[in-house]
Every structure is written in structure tokens, then in C-alpha cells.
Amino acid sequence: MPYIGIEQDWDIEMADSNRITEFIKFYKESNLCDDKKVAVMALILSSYDDLLNENNLEIDDRWNEIKSILESERVIFIDLINYWSLSNEVEEDNLFRITLLMRNIK
């Protein structure tokens, strides 16, 4: 990652919709502590949201993998789930593309 240390929202700035499969593979194959799991999952979710925005896509197999990870380790990802779910937001224009998917996990 081209991280230089001044990023404010690292996961959003480093998101790359072309690398989602690589990020998921890294997550699954690495022995990560909870903090690193959250960091990598934040990157995955930002990247997937970008993918949905760029290609006007609906869900695919990658989403099913992401969802499975989120559901299996919900306790460590609850803040990410809440963030992307925008639970109190009702205006569709204010939602992330991934929000409805995340709300289904919640």
C-alpha cells in the first residue's frame, strides 16, 4: 500500500476496487490480531463500496465472502457494521452503496 503516514481515513484513501479479491485472500490467509482484522476489513469494505459505485453492480461472490467473515466475527466488526449501516439515515441519497447490504448483516 502506498501509505505515507499522513492519511486521515486510511481505509478510504487506500481502497482499491481492483484488489478486493487480493485483500480478502490476505485476510483469510494471515494470522491477524483483532485490530489488524478490523483494519483489513475496513479496507475491504471501502474497496467494495467503491466497486459498487464504479460499476453500478449488485452483489457478487466477493460480497458473499465478505458477509461470511463479518457474520462469523461480528463482535470484532460491530463498529464497522454500524458505520456502514447508517442506521439512523433514511434519505437514500445519503447512504453508501454498500449500506443496504450492511443493514442485512445487522
pLDDT tens digits for 32-76? 999 999 999 999 999 999 999 988 766 789 999 999 999 999 999
100 confidence band (pLDDT: 50, 70, 90): very high
State the Cα–Cα distance between residues 66 and 63, nearest whole angstrom.
5
Name the percent of the chain lying above pLDDT 70. Answer: 86
Mean pLDDT rounded to a whole number for the chain: 88
Grid cell, residue 47, equals: 474497496
Return the pLDDT at 59.
Answer: 76
DSSP one-letter code for 73:
T
**What does the block give as the cell for 45?**
469494505
Q: Is the pTM of this model over 0.75?
A: yes
Give the chain's length: 106
Q: Is-contact 23 32, C-beta < 8 A?
A: no
